[in-house]
Amino acid sequence: MRFWYTGGGVVGAHPADAIHCGRYRQTGPPQPVGVRRFPFAEFSTVRKLFAVNQSGMKNQLSQNEPAHSPVTVNVNEDSGLKPSAGSVATDKVIVDPPIERARKGRHSLNRPSGLTGETIWMYILAIGLFHVVALLAFVPWFFTWTGLIVMLVGVHFFGDIGINLCYHRLLAHHSFRVPKWFERTLVVISVCCLQDTPIKWVTTHRSHHGNSDEDEDPHSPLVTFCWGHFEWIMLRNKDTRSAAAYDKYARDLLADPFYRMMERTSLPGIIFTVHALLYYFVGFGVGYYLTETVMGAVQFGLSLLLWGVIVRVVIVWHITWSVNSLTHMFGYRNHDTTDQSRNNWFVALVGAGEGWHNNHHHDQSSASVQHRWWEIDITYYTILLLGWLGLATDIIQPRHKRIAKRRKANSDE
């Protein structure tokens, strides 16, 4: 039996039996489709309590909670999903969550109350500058096929491995484990995406899951699309950008000196600068070798810098931001979650599986978001590859697979 630190005095026997987000884990048997889940049950933002009776895992709503209408869930042999009590089994997916806010319309939220009114000008200038410089990609002088290929490879290497695999599924959700040296190597790759420090990223993401599509959600598009996509980054929110917030949501990372150093020093910026210069000087050397002229070397170096770093960073930004915005507005639903999360095929395609967002909100601890055979999850396949290489262990399977495995084990006893 393995136990793990949660920072809140809650421990469990295995992540597969936990509904959690990061260090906050609420142990218990898996809940069926349709059960309202609050992975941050110890937070003050949770106002209603739900109990599970011994007879059937049914919701016990408080007296103030209106009764929900029956919902439609997808049930087929491929998905392994089963309907909950009160659900209607058909071959269709859920269209809207059965919550009062959905009946009022999607754009009905206020901005988070933790906003201080302070504008983060450093972020505004950096985001604006990168977008302006990226426009140089339309100038033929900067274009090379090598630069384009390096950009496409970089989107996968830095975006999918750095953000999806490391920041999201490893650090934020602990969906698998890797050796410490390899974890820190992945973090170095992650900071080359300019998506903030690990502690800030994890704090924001865990806050999102704890308050998903509620007023305190740091980046819900139910405020406005632009707010959920990028505006939230430009205003300081004390509920996600303060020592108290880091202690509340990312205490596991704060306990590690490596992550504290990332937070307190300029090391992330230094890493990004060094990696950008490396692109340029490697391109300069290759260009001089190919053309035997300084101008040819400069041109090739700037091409790799522009396409391999600037354009790639901007593209990865918008892929990540699209998970926050598009997948809470457009798409279909496999599961009756209490938010507006949706599965969006376009975001899943460009985001290596991250677009199957409703699946993720249904089962946050899982290393996989593939709940149907055709919901391809490249990030999960990469995790499995790391497991095959011996670099990843304790890979948490999707909930329906965990349930099936547990039932098989019980039947064999």
Helices (H), 220-342: 225-229, 243-249, 251-254, 257-264, 267-291, 294-305, 312-325
SS3 assignment, position 27: strand
Q: What is the DSSP letter of 131?
A: H
Q: What is the DSSP letter of 63?
A: T
Residue showing tokens 């890979």: 395
SS3 assignment, position 35: coil
Rounded to the nearest 5°, which phi and psi values hold at 15? -60, -30
- Strand 18-21 to strand 24-27: parallel, antiparallel, or no bridges (unpaired)? antiparallel
Q: Count CB atoms within 10 A of the CB of residue 118.
A: 12
Q: Count CB atoms within 10 A of the CB of residue 195.
A: 23
Instruction: Assess contact for 249 and 40: CB atoms under 8 A.
Output: no
Rounded to the nearest 5°, which phi and psi values hold at 24? -90, 110
Distant-in-sequence, close-in-space partners of 258: CB < 8 Å, separation ≥ 6: 184, 187
pTM of the model: 0.76
Helices 267-291 and 257-264 pack at an angle, to 10 degrees, of: 80
Helices (H), 161-242: 180-191, 198-210, 225-229
CA atoms lying within 13 Å on the CB side of residue 165? 33
Distance between CA 309 and CA 215 in Å, rounded?
A: 35
Q: pLDDT truncated to tens, each residue of the chain (413 aa)?
A: 333 333 333 233 333 333 344 333 333 333 333 333 333 333 333 333 333 333 333 333 333 333 333 333 333 333 333 333 333 333 344 434 433 444 334 557 899 999 999 999 999 999 999 999 999 999 999 999 999 999 999 999 999 999 999 999 999 999 999 999 999 999 999 999 999 999 999 999 999 999 999 999 999 999 999 999 999 999 999 999 999 999 999 999 999 999 999 999 999 999 999 999 999 999 999 999 999 999 999 999 999 999 999 999 999 999 999 999 999 999 999 999 999 999 999 999 999 999 999 999 999 999 999 999 999 999 999 999 999 999 999 999 988 888 888 888 887 76
Give the CA distances from residue 230 to residues 195, 309, 320, 366, in Å, rounded to whole numbers and listed in that order. Answer: 12, 20, 10, 27
- What is the Cα gyration radius of the chain? 22
Q: What is the pLDDT of residue 148?
A: 97
Distance between CA 34 and CA 86 in Å, rounded?
A: 9
Q: What is the DSSP letter of 393?
A: B
Q: What is the pLDDT of residue 413?
A: 66
Q: Which residues of 305-323 are buried (b: 16+ CB within 10 A; e: fewer)?
A: bbbbbbbbbbbbbebbbbb
Count of H-run helices and E-run strands, the chain:
16, 6
Residue showing tokens 């990168």: 130
